[in-house]
Amino acid sequence: MPGPRRSDCPISFALDLFGDRWTFLVIRDLMFKGKRRYSEFLASEEGMATNILADRLRKLEGAGIVVRTQAARNAGGLTYSLTEKGLDLAPLLVETVLWSAKHDASTAADPAFVTAATLDRPAVLTAVRQQHTDRTN
């Protein structure tokens, strides 16, 4: 990561990369919603501005969390996908969904996902990895 670190604290390290309102939403879209193209990220309900999205994708690519590839000739454009380092964030995102489902009465968390993750987190995490692997192969 570019720039000076505030400290060697692991939480500070994570906040330097993810401590804004948009970065985890890009990762969420890649991990859970199957989005891979710039236009798909822009269509997310949160309404991220184009300059913010471009910045977050560059930042995530620079940190080795996202990889950018040229789409097939007939598809055109660029696609983005999570690296293994990015997929290692799955437990954190699943726990965040569960925490929000517990503490936010108006959450849009999928009840089936919440139930599955509550009952068998390892199986859900395996499924998340497998779905991502299936999409990128």
Angle between helices 23-32 and 10-18 (to 10 degrees): 80
pTM here is 0.86
Q: Are 9 and 21 in contact (CB under 8 A)?
A: no
Give residues with Cβ within 8 angstroms of 57, minimum separation 6.
26, 38, 41, 66, 68, 80
Tens-binned pLDDT, residue by residue, of the chain (137 aa): 556 778 888 888 888 888 888 999 999 999 999 999 999 999 999 999 999 999 999 999 999 999 998 876 666 688 999 999 999 999 999 999 999 999 998 888 899 999 999 999 999 999 999 888 777 66
DSSP string, 78-104: EEEEE-HHHHTTHHHHHHHHHHHHHH-
Q: What is the pLDDT of residue 76?
A: 65
- What domains lie within the chain, and their CATH numbers? 11-136 (1.10.10.10)
Q: What is the pLDDT of residue 65?
A: 95
